[in-house]
Structure 1
Amino acid sequence: MPSSGSSILGHLGDEPAGFTPEVTALKKLLLTGANGFVGSALIEHLLIAGYQVTCTTTSPPRSQPSEYECINLDIRDKNAVEDTVRKVKPTHLIHLAAISNVATSFRDPYLTWETNVLGTINILEAIKNQASDCFSLFVSSSEVYGSAFKSNIPLDEESRCLPLNPYAASKLATEAAIGQYFATSLRGVITRPFNHIGPGQSPDFVTASFAKQIAMIECSRQEPIIHVGNLDANRDFLDVHDVCRAYIKLLEHEKNDLPHSIYNICSGKAHKIKSLLEIMLSQSDTKIDIKLDPTRLRPSDIPFAVGCKKRIITDIGWQPEKSIDEALASLLNYWRDRSQQTSLLNHAS
């Protein structure tokens, strides 16, 4: 039986000459906004990648998960943010927390700017003061390009940013603040993800709205008519798990001195919204009609919004792996499960 002085490296003195034990540095990652659509998917990827994860959410969890720590945090609270970073002492940060709905940003611009800009500055200050060696990944948005998409070509990271809504404007202002910290004190990277889809996505977003309506129609909880907005727009879509892989791959390259501080995360392909709806309808056996709903039309809608992925491919070798059909199927099946559970509860009551 091993003595009390033994370890996983064996008994002291048993090592071959010249042996130096390898010690793997603990990767402590702080993930803000973990209760959102992306955060829920990202946690699993981070755990598999070997990170010790601490999540922050805007509402207390019903129960503390065994695999990671979860903290209730409002990033607008400067002192609470500072306390959290001091306790966690992260080696890595992914900052997802934000007001990300465009309609909400028009309805409540003060909340949007306070959360997205001042909340991020609270994070930056806390990292600077309490974990200055931390490598931080800040999630911006392709929305910052705005009317630059009117060029009708895929935009790269050097393209002009001409935001068209309060959400996009707040994200661009946040990028400016982050860039100042990167220039003077902190290490990190900014990402501009394009549209991503998958289980858990809010029906405020177009593909999730389609999926929810189809699922409800299949359960006879909605008439067999799907209500839509502009179907002619072309967008760049990714599966959420491909986006998560990009985030982790960027974190893993932090020791290799990333040559750029901003990266698009995109497919580089244009998908017409109508074609996405047709794919989802083909994945259902139910006959469903389509009806235009004027309330779903956005006044500043851009006909073409696609990104260039050359930089991220060249610098870190990331490529999307999931097909658009797979992504839409997983989203639709998620909403089918939700609708069936609701129907069973209603039936039971």
Structure 2
Amino acid sequence: MATWLITGAGGWLGGWVLDAVGRTLADGDRIVVLGRNRPASLRGALFVGADLRDPEGLGRAVRDVAPDYVIHAAGKTPPTPDEEMYEANFWGTDRLLNALRHLDRPVRVVVAGSAAELGPVAAADLPVVEDQVCRPMTAYGRSKAMATAAALVARGPLEIVVGRVFNPVGPGMPESLAFGRFAAQLAAPDLPQTLLAGRLDARRDFVDVRDAARALVALAHQGQARRIYNIGSGHSRTVQEGLDLLIHLSGRSVRIGLDAGATRRGEPDDSRASLDRITAETDWRPSIPFERSMADLWSAASARGGMALPLTG
């Protein structure tokens, strides 16, 4: 019998992690969702209220749950103010690890990292490996890099793995991410005459959010402690390709305009993950093609009139 603890299950990635863990539970295992707010759907899990900003309350909750496995998917993303991202992503992670450390026994912990930790990577260094020197250029990237560093240097009996997620896509994608915003606008009854977009020639490694969730669960079982693992598709595509697919799926006609504010300083021209480490050391492989990810994103967006979950909870 094992107890799984999941943070961020009220968000997009965390919600799919909850689903992925539920699909792999052995008889007698249980899932506990930890957070400030109870998710709309617990999918058979228990809920324990705790705030990552409150060390004492967090410590009590962790002692009560006594987890064997933890997947930490909670955090904040842009356009959250910088100070809140540092508080949630770095300090929240640090407090959770401290609370788990006080259990004074081995616990398998997977921290969800981000490709934003890397910053710009030279074309000659693509596909990027996990040992690439990180030069994050955004507050989000720096806050996630600090969380990764805290996880990897954590002392004690914790067995900590970092899953560095590249660019997740798929159903439920929030409007804070480009394709989620495009899908919501295309699904809305009052479609704008001009759909504003940032750089359409930028290339990204888009991985289906369901594949990313499965990868985090695989790392809980099979990842080596104190290691980073890239989670991506191993290929890069332009933003233009994804937008063209969504427009085709919507059957609507729309002009595309430049949104200068959507381009952030320090974003890379291309981003592509080497999957050699994760495919050699676990049985995980990305299985959902980009075209299906976009089709499922569109189906979900059109069914709900554009509404989506937040990226993290």
Match of 2:145 among 164, 168, 172: 172
Contact 2:121/2:268 (<8 A) preserved? no
- Alpha-carbon distance between aligned partners in 1 of 2:252 and 2:3, rounded to the nearest angstrom: 47
Two-structure CA RMSD over aligned residues (Å):
2.1
Structure 1 unpaired stretches of 5+: 1-25, 343-349
Matching of residue 323 in structure 1 with residue 289 in structure 2: yes
CA distance 1:206–1:178, shift in 2 (3 Å): same
Deviations along 1:234-259, one digit per CA (max 9) or x if unpaired, are: 000011111111112122225xxx27
- Alpha-carbon distance between aligned partners in 2 of 1:119 and 1:109, rounded to the nearest angstrom: 14
What is the aligned length? 305
Q: SS of the counterpart of 1:190?
A: strand
Contact 2:159/2:225 (<8 A) preserved? no
Deviations along 1:256-310, one digit per CA (max 9) or x if unpaired, are: xx27611000111010111111111121222222122222222323211111111
- Alpha-carbon distance between aligned partners in 1 of 2:160 and 2:265, rounded to the nearest angstrom: 35
CA distance 1:85–1:234, shift in 2 (3 Å): same
User: Which AA in structure 1 matches 2:222?
Assistant: H
Match of 2:195 among 220, 226, 240: 226
Structure 2 unpaired stretches of 5+: 309-313
1:209 maps to 181
**Offset, 1:149:** 4.6
Contact 2:183/2:306 (<8 A) preserved? no
- Alpha-carbon distance between aligned partners in 2 of 1:116 and 1:166, rounded to the nearest angstrom: 10
1:7 maps to none
Relative to the length of structure 2, the TM-score reads 0.91
Contact 2:9/2:39 (<8 A) preserved? no
2:168 maps to 196
2:14 maps to 39
Aligned pairs for 1:139-158 (under 5 A) are 139-149=112-122, 151=124, 153-158=126-131
1:80 maps to 57
* Structure showing the higher helix proportion among its residues: 1
Deviations along 1:3-38, one digit per CA (max 9) or x if unpaired, are: xxxxxxxxxxxxxxxxxxxxxxx1201101111101
CA distance 1:165–1:150, shift in 2 (3 Å): farther
- Alpha-carbon distance between aligned partners in 2 of 1:156 and 1:317, rounded to the nearest angstrom: 19
Deviations along 1:153-175, one digit per CA (max 9) or x if unpaired, are: 22100111000111111111122
Question: Runs (4+) of structure 1 moved beyond 3 Å?
Answer: 149-152
Q: Which structure has the larger Rg over C-alpha atoms?
A: 1
Relative to the length of structure 1, the TM-score reads 0.82
CA distance 1:281–1:222, shift in 2 (3 Å): closer
CA distance 1:134–1:260, shift in 2 (3 Å): closer
Matching of residue 98 in structure 1 with residue 67 in structure 2: no
Matching of residue 287 in structure 1 with residue 253 in structure 2: yes
1:275 maps to 241
**Offset, 1:92:** 0.4
* Relative contact order, higher structure (CA 8 A, sep 6+): 2
Match of 1:299 among 259, 265, 276: 265
Contact 2:194/2:254 (<8 A) preserved? yes
Q: SS of the counterpart of 2:146?
A: helix
2:311 maps to none
